[in-house]
Amino acid sequence: MGADRRIPVVILGATGAVGQRFVQLLDGHPWFRVAGLAASERSAGQAYGKAARWFLPEPIPEWARTMEVVPCRPGIDARLAFSGLDASVAGGIEEEFARAGCAVVSNSRNHRMDPEVPLLIPEVNAEHLDLVETQKRRWRGGGFIVTNPNCSTIGLALSVAPLHRAFGIKRLVVATLQAISGAGYPGVASLDILDNIIPYIGNEEEKMESETLKILGTPKGPAAFGVSAHCHRVHVSDGHTLAVSVETEQRTTAEEATRVLGEFRSPLAPLGLPSLPERPIEVRDEPDRPQPKHDRMAGKGMTISVGRVRPCPVLGLKYVALVHNTIRGGAGAAILNAELLKAKGLL
């Protein structure tokens, strides 16, 4: 592989649910090459195919199956670390890698609300990358941390961003129907979710309420409007559904909002980021879409789908949004962030 000029990357927490998605989505990536699969001491030393209890429907890539798992310590030959670590350990390990000069692109929540850490959706707030320079002073080694939003937040923030830009958001209420894969693996016990709903996901509502404002704000500070979230776990494998009611600063109609959502395009298209979907948002006009089973894989899982845009008798406008929670709402989001870093010369 002497001629492989792709950037060597390490996946932190490679055996977990998010880690597996990183492995799957980085398989054959044109810019990045997985140079290390890092996990807990317990897994280190084993072949990845042994250490990871692979649960994705797609087969485990052959190179990954046989690669030896290493512990989550700097020293791996990699300029970039993707972190799918559990929040209980992510904080410290990510800082260690930043201090060691690594660009850490994290899916974990630990640093998301740090004012010096960008909470990034490339199509929405690429300008938050400016925070990287500020942040670099902190870690000395030249490393830094960049994060992507929580899996349900991204569906909200990305769908509401064009409306925010066009009309201003005054306040919004969102109810979620979240897939079990969002809880990791093994995650939700089958006895708890078969023929059932769990109307609670720890800290999820708080995350949606705060992260959304940070994303839609400026590098200097969060946006200031009311967000209220109701979060539910439902019996769906992948794909979070969001029912959103929103009040805009400037009044609008369902037709106008539909147009704004449908015309939304990423200003980053010219950069040629491999994971950037053609359309960040797909607006559907069937009365009963989007649906997780049919629409979660839109844009290879990187496009969110919006449907049922209609008047809300209380807040003015309502719609349904769907996001693939482990691709656009997880590993795919982090990879897109890393691609943006590279394109901007930050790697």
* Residue with smaller CB distance to a copy of itself, 135 or 150: 150
Judged by CB under 8 A, the number of residues near a copy of itself is 57
How far is Cα 49 from Cα 63, in angstroms, rounded to an integer? 10
Q: Is the dihedral of CA 247, 251, 253, 257 positive or negative?
A: negative
87/197 with CB nearer a copy of itself: 197
Residues 41-80 that bind a copy of itself (CB under 8 A): 55, 57, 59
Q: Distance between CA 4 and CA 8 in Å, rounded?
A: 9
Give me the sign of the Cα torsion angle 122, 128, 131, 133: positive
For 251, how many CA atoms within 13 A lie in the half-sphere containing its CB?
A: 4
- Residue 311's CB is within 10 A of a number of other CB atoms, namely 12
Q: Provide the minimum distance between the beta carbon of 90 and a copy of itself in the complex, in angstroms, as a whole number.
A: 21
- Tell me, yes or no, if 102 is annotated catalytic: no
Nearer to a copy of itself, 134 or 237 (CB): 237
CA pair distance 170, 162, nearest whole angstrom: 14
Residue in the block written with tokens 């794909």: 239
Among 72, 57, 66, 59, residue whose Cα is nearest residue 14: 72
Minimum CB distance to a copy of itself, residue 231 (Å): 9
Site for a copy of itself (CB under 8 A): which residue of 147, 245, 258, 325? 245
Q: How far is the CB of 141 from a copy of itself (least distance, A)?
A: 37
Q: Which is nearer to a copy of itself, 99 or 294 (CB)?
A: 294
Rounded least distance, CB 308 to a copy of itself, Å: 6
CA distance 308 to 321: 9
Catalytic residue among 111, 128, 164, 240: 240
DSSP 235-267: S-SS-EEEEEEEEESS---HHHHHHHHHH---T
Known catalytic residue at 151: yes
CB of 271 or CB of 297, closer to a copy of itself: 297
Q: How many residues are listed for the chain in this entry?
A: 347
Residues 272-291 that bind a copy of itself (CB under 8 A): 287-291
Piece of the chain touching a copy of itself by CB under 8 A; list 126-134, 237-245, 257-265, 331-339: 237-245
Over its C-alpha atoms, the chain yields an Rg (Å, rounded) of 19
Is there binding between residue 172 and a copy of itself (CB under 8 A)? Answer: yes
Contact string 296-335 vs a copy of itself (x = CB under 8 A): -x---------xx---xxxx--x-x---------------
Q: Pick from 173, 215, 281, 333: which binds a copy of itself (CB under 8 A)?
A: 173
- Residue 233 C-beta: closest distance to a copy of itself, Å: 9
Q: How far is the CB of 341 from a copy of itself (least distance, A)?
A: 31
Contact characters 177-206, a copy of itself, x per CB under 8 A: x--xx---xxxxxxxxxxxxxxxx------
- Beta strands across the sheet bearing 316-323: 226-233, 169-178, 240-248, 316-323, 304-312, 281-283
**Edge-to-edge strand list for the sheet holding 32-39:** 69-71, 32-39, 7-12, 80-83, 103-106, 144-147
| Interface characters, 99-138, with a copy of itself (x: CB under 8 A) | ----------------------------------------
Residue with tokens 């590279």: 342
> Does residue number 208 form part of the binding site for a copy of itself (CB under 8 A)?
no
Given 151, 164, 231, 324, which residue is catalytic? 151
Q: State whether the Cα torsion 134-138-143-147 is positive or negative.
A: negative
Active site residues: 151, 240
Contact set with a copy of itself (CB under 8 A): 55, 57, 59, 171-173, 175, 177, 180-181, 185-200, 209, 226-228, 230, 232, 234-237, 239, 241, 243, 245, 287-294, 297, 307-308, 312-315, 318, 320
